[in-house]
Amino acid sequence: MPGEFEAIDRIRRLFPDPPAGEVWIGDDAAVLPGGLLVAADALVYGRHVLPDAPLDDLGWKAIATNASDIAAMGGRPTHCLVTVAGPADTNLDLLYAGIAEATAVYGCPVVGGDLVNASELTVSVTVLGTTDGRAPVLRSGARPGDLIYVTGPLGGAAASGYRVRPVARVAEGIAAAVAGATAMIDVSDGLFADLNHLLEASGVGVGLAPIPIAPGATAEQAMGGGDDYELVFAAPAHAEVAGIRIGRCTDDVSQRPTSTGWEHTWR
């Protein structure tokens, strides 16, 4: 069965290429005129959070994961739209308490959205962001010789049984961009899966160093557990960046890790 990313490639071919200065399908967020960043994600209760998770955790995660996409562009979130589809007896007050808590932390108030009844609870968020005049950091800018960093240890989410609230590394993404990061992505599907997206978009390989592992996690969880929402970025060797070095980009595209992590399947 084809995977999510093959499906995205098919979808992308249905639409024209973006005009100069814009970025459309294929990065963590779209880049529109004026440097506007736009990202969107949908979370299904029981799939993206555990089926017994409190609804405020679902609300928090729906915002945090989208804020993380903006962070991966070196930006900060500014506003968001929230659409909830779910059964009529959904506890909206609890769900939106988590949404309100996260939007207060990330500075992106809810400015609109929609409510609709459905058999399965799904929260869909669109978040707007800005780089405050800086060029956005894309996945495609890494070059041979750049060093690869991660903003923190990995595998903690998997080790917890996916019961911890994710944290979007907004400040860290801005700091990496200011320091000269050439490419960046967030770790949502697993380190090796997401790192490979960056390597493929940039046309480079990587020589890997030891991976920082979160307390209580295994090496396998660190490489492919996903849901950590740390940032992985490339930067020139001379750049003074804050991060944990995990490798160096090479010109050998065969030097890429075997992807392990989560991917949806489609026909």
Task: Indicate the class that CATH gives domain 4-130.
Answer: alpha beta
* Confidence (pTM): 0.94
> pLDDT for 101-145, tens place per residue?
999 999 999 999 999 999 999 999 999 999 999 999 999 999 999
Q: Is the dihedral of CA 70, 60, 78, 116 positive or negative?
A: positive
Residue 243 has pLDDT above 70, yes or no: yes
Residue intervals in the chain for CATH 3.30.1330.10: 4-130
- Give helix 55-71 / helix 170-179 axis angle, nearest 10°: 10
List of residues 6+ apart from 146 with CB closer than 8 A: 182, 183, 204, 234, 235, 236, 237, 248, 249
Q: What does the pLDDT read at residue 263?
A: 58
Helices (H) and strands (E) in the chain, counts: 7, 10
Residue intervals in the chain for CATH 3.90.650.10: 147-250
Q: How far, rounded to the nearest angstrom, does the alpha carbon of residue 40 sit from its chain's CA centroid?
A: 10
Residue 266 has pLDDT above 70, yes or no: no
- Give the CA-trace dihedral at 19, 23, 24, 25, to 10 degrees: 130
> pLDDT for 46-100, tens place per residue?
999 999 999 999 999 999 999 999 999 999 999 999 999 999 999 999 999 999 9
- Say if CB 234 and CB 207 are below 8 A apart: no
The β-bridge partners of 49 are 45
Residue 9's pLDDT band (cuts 50, 70, 90):
confident
Q: What does the pLDDT read at residue 18?
A: 94
Residue 264's pLDDT band (cuts 50, 70, 90):
low
The CATH architecture one would assign to domain 147-250 is: Alpha-Beta Complex (3.90)
Residue 3's pLDDT band (cuts 50, 70, 90):
low
**Amino acid letter, residue 168:** A
> pLDDT for 179-198, tens place per residue?
999 999 999 999 999 999 99
- Say if CB 90 and CB 124 are below 8 A apart: no
Q: What does the pLDDT read at residue 98?
A: 98
DSSP tag of 136: P
Residue 5 has pLDDT above 80, yes or no: no
Best CA proximity match to 153, nearest among 216, 213, 241 = 213
pLDDT, mean of residues 25-49: 96
Q: What does the pLDDT read at residue 31?
A: 98
Cα-based distances in Å from 54 to 61, 92, 98, 117, 181: 11, 12, 9, 20, 37
> How much is the mean pLDDT over the chain?
95
Question: Parallel, antiparallel, or unpaired for β 110-117 and 76-86?
Answer: parallel
Q: What does the pLDDT read at residue 262?
A: 60
